[in-house]
């Protein structure tokens, strides 16, 4: 009795995970424009579209850039720490040693090498050797953020600070101080 062997064919086109696509797009922007410290959410989405047009049409790209990949935001539900919010509507790659929301403590910072097409593997090497601070290197402190100062003064809770950041991001930067 002869047995049949099943062959599983893999698609020649590897599809990015949404978070990995966002990380790659942001890393490429940093490499292409090394003098710039951060990028708008729109620039990141546009660069993601260049790298994987079909993948960038997925509905989660914008949400990942705004929330899911941002280290300082509460997990919702993703715990990634791939991006840092550097200003209103601005993002850059996260660096180890930076502050992040406690719920993201075990969150992924960079894509797994096996999840990326081979042409992007050198981005992981660049991140580890050039972009990310070497272990043990202490960044010179330049002062506390307004959020940290307000928490220390006991005037605003972490939950309220996170909500304020979300509202500022989503609502034209207008916050009614009497609501807080």
Mean per-residue pLDDT pooled into runs of 10, the chain (180 residues)? 40 69 96 94 94 78 93 92 94 94 94 93 94 60 63 70 73 52
Residue 153 inside a domain? The answer is yes
Tally of domains within the chain: 2
User: Do 87 and 148 fall into the same domain?
Assistant: no
CA atoms within 13 A on the CB side of 164: 16
Instruction: Report the pLDDT value the prediction gives residue 158, as an integer from 0 to 100.
Output: 77
Cα 61 from Cα 44, distance rounded (Å):
9
Cα 97 from Cα 178, distance rounded (Å):
35
User: Do 157 and 69 fall into the same domain?
Assistant: no
Query: Structure pTM?
Result: 0.67
> What residues make up the domain containing 170?
144-174
Cα 163 from Cα 26, distance rounded (Å):
25
Q: Which residue has the tokens 């850039």?
A: 65
Residue 11 inside a domain? The answer is no
User: Do 85 and 153 fall into the same domain?
Assistant: no
Instruction: Report the pLDDT value the prediction gives residue 170, as an integer from 0 to 100.
Output: 67
Instruction: Report the pLDDT value the prediction gives residue 76, as an integer from 0 to 100.
Output: 83
Residue 13 inside a domain? The answer is no
Residue 3 inside a domain? The answer is no
Instruction: Report the pLDDT value the prediction gives residue 133, as an integer from 0 to 100.
Output: 67
Instruction: State residue 21 phi and psi, 5-degree precision.
Output: -65, -40
Q: What is the bridge-based pairing of β-strands 83-87 and 39-40?
A: unpaired
User: Do 107 and 39 fall into the same domain?
Assistant: yes
Cα 125 from Cα 45, distance rounded (Å):
23
Instruction: Report the pLDDT value the prediction gives residue 86, as an integer from 0 to 100.
Output: 92
User: Do 44 and 90 fall into the same domain?
Assistant: yes
Residue 122 inside a domain? The answer is yes
What SS3 class is residue 118? Answer: helix
């Amino acid at each position: 009795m002869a047995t049949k062997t099943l062959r599983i064919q893999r698609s020649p086109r590897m599809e990015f995970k949404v978070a990995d696509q966002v990380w790659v797009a942001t890393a490429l922007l940093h490499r292409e424009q090394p003098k710039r410290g951060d990028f708008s959410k729109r620039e990141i989405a546009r660069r993601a579209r260049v790298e994987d047009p079909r993948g960038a049409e997925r509905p989660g790209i914008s949400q990942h850039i705004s929330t899911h990949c941002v280290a300082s935001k509460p997990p919702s539900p993703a715990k990634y720490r791939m991006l840092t919010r550097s200003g209103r509507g601005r993002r850059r790659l996260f660096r180890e040693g930076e502050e992040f929301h406690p719920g993201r403590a075990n969150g992924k910072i960079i894509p797994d090498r096996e999840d990326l097409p081979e042409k992007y593997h050198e981005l992981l090497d660049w991140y580890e050797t050039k972009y990310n601070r070497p272990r043990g290197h202490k960044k010179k402190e330049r002062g506390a953020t307004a959020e940290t100062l307000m928490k220390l003064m006991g005037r605003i809770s972490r939950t309220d600070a996170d909500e304020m950041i979300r509202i500022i991001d989503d609502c034209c930067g207008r916050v009614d101080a009497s609501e807080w």
